[in-house]
Amino acid sequence: MGPLAGKTIIEFAGLGPAPYAGMMLADMGAEVIRIERPGGGTMIGSADPKWDVHNRGKACICINMKSPEGVACAERLVQSADALIEGFRPGVMEKLGLGPDHCLQINPKLVYGRMTGWGQSGDLAHTAGHDINYIALTGALHAIGPRGQKPAIPLNLVGDYGGGGMMLAFGLVCALLEAQNSGQGQVIDSSIVDGTASLMGFAYSAFQSGLSSDRRGENILDSGAFFYNVYETSDGGYISIGSIEPQFFNLLIELLELDNAASGDEVINWRQLQWQSKQWPELSDKFAALFKTRSRDQWCQLLEGTDVCFAPVLSIDEARSHPHNIARGTFIETDGTWQPAPTPRFSRTRAEVAHGAMALGENTRSVLSAAGYDDQTIEQLLASGAVAC
């Protein structure tokens, strides 16, 4: 039983960060009931729902929120829930009749989690957007990418999932803990912009202190430093080097046999030049030429498992087969699909995936039954179109 066993979360289905937060809570043992609209679609469209990892461990009920009877069903679920998750634009839940004021009136202990890109307030609150726009507004997108090139898009990891879903899950758990003491629920305004800005705290501090510049690709962690970078190998693969600390950098120079090694007509004192940032572009070129002399596997044989801070750049398909990930159980298989294991890990209340993602409305009858509806009423609701299987 995970650490959130006994908690019930109602999740109004959406895309990206809100479902990810729900997945995190389900992995931790919470009962998450996903409310979908009849005829809706999941993130992976018409494909088998088992591929939609965000919906693993959740029950799924289809409710027609345009029907008074459907809204009444949702209200009954909310009445006995510990928390609610929604990821619509500001005002949408109020139009459905399930805004925070109403829900907290019928369930004063409810934790009401709202996930948006721009936030519930502000000049852009009612404007459409996506991850790329939200991280652009914080400086995060500007800071990522090689020198002299356009910003690199970090998938939607920084905004949707780091600044969005994970921050929402954190906020929900914090509010649930507080509600245990106060007996009162509250509303969580989780904004991807705000969350991304929080993730950028170190970058903002480094810039203000003079440790880094506001120019992309010229700093330690953005590919500016030759000792913290990605390099291509002779077989077209890539490796990552992160030898920042002197003991790690010294070991790298030793294993690469660069001590007193001549480069053309000169002998480079690598240790002396490590922090000479003006030399970084030239030294990066020399490292690039060196690492292209061997294959990725050959560099793994030399550097992997040492303290130079090294790892091969694995493809998505390769990642699950790496010996370290196998030993850790970083990936699991559920319903014939491999996926990341629940994280973090607990010594006593083990987190686990209860089951794979359910099809739309697969649990409509069982969820309504658990909410106190008798079989006859459930059939009437199905016949009226208020709910669907």
Residue type, 252: L
Q: Note whether 79 and 107 are within 8 A (CB).
A: yes
Q: Do 185 and 51 sit in the same domain of this protein?
A: yes
**What is the layout of strands, in order, in the sheet containing 238-242?**
228-232, 238-242, 310-312
Q: Do 381 and 295 sit in the same domain of this protein?
A: no
Per-residue pLDDT, 336: 85
Using CA atoms, how far apart are residues 188 and 130, in angstroms rounded to an integer? 20
Other CB atoms within a 10 A radius of the CB of residue 283 amount to: 18
Residues 71-117 pLDDT 10s: 999 999 999 999 999 999 999 999 999 999 999 999 999 999 999 99
Mean pLDDT, residues 312-320? 97
293 pLDDT higher than 90: yes
Number of domains in the chain: 2
Q: How many CA atoms lie within 13 A of 346 on its CB side?
A: 13
Q: Do 255 and 195 sit in the same domain of this protein?
A: no
Q: Do 175 and 256 sit in the same domain of this protein?
A: no
Which domain does 114 fall in, by range?
8-199+330-388
Q: Do 306 and 337 sit in the same domain of this protein?
A: no
69, part of any domain:
yes
Backbone dihedral region for residue 94 (phi beyond 0: left; psi -120 to 50: alpha; all else: beta) = alpha
**pLDDT band for position 210 (50/70/90)?**
very high
Q: Do 142 and 287 sit in the same domain of this protein?
A: no
Residues above pLDDT 70, as percent of the chain: 96
Residue after which a domain boundary falls, among 278, 312, 346: 312
Residues 238-283 pLDDT 10s: 999 999 999 999 999 999 999 876 555 577 889 999 999 999 999 9
Tokens, residue 331? 């990936």
86, part of any domain:
yes
Residues 8-60 pLDDT 10s: 999 999 889 999 999 999 999 999 999 999 877 655 555 678 888 999 999 99
Mean pLDDT, residues 143-167? 96
Mean pLDDT, residues 170-176? 98
Per-residue pLDDT, 262: 55
Q: Do 189 and 255 sit in the same domain of this protein?
A: no
Per-residue pLDDT, 51: 85
Using CA atoms, how far apart are residues 275 and 307, in angstroms rounded to an integer? 19
Residue after which a domain boundary falls, among 312, 345, 370: 312
Q: Do 107 and 176 sit in the same domain of this protein?
A: yes
Mean pLDDT, residues 160-189? 97
Per-residue pLDDT, 50: 80
Q: Do 122 and 87 sit in the same domain of this protein?
A: yes
Provide the CATH number for the domain around residue 43: 3.40.50.10540
Q: Do 283 and 338 sit in the same domain of this protein?
A: no
Residue after which a domain boundary falls, among 281, 312, 343: 312
Q: What are phi and psi of 137, to 5 degrees?
A: -75, -15
Q: Do 278 and 374 sit in the same domain of this protein?
A: no
Using CA atoms, how far apart are residues 42 and 36, in angstroms rounded to an integer? 9
81, part of any domain:
yes
Provide the CATH number for the domain around residue 260: 3.30.1540.10
205, part of any domain:
no
Partnered with residue 35 across adjacent β-strands are 12, 61
The residues that are catalytic are: 130, 160
Global pTM exceeds 0.85 = yes
Residues 317-373 pLDDT 10s: 999 999 999 999 999 998 889 999 999 999 999 999 999 999 899 999 999 999 999
Per-residue pLDDT, 217: 95
Residues 6+ apart with CB under 8 A from 200: 138, 139, 140, 143
Tokens, residue 257? 């046999």
Q: Do 163 and 132 sit in the same domain of this protein?
A: yes
Residue with tokens 């440790």: 211
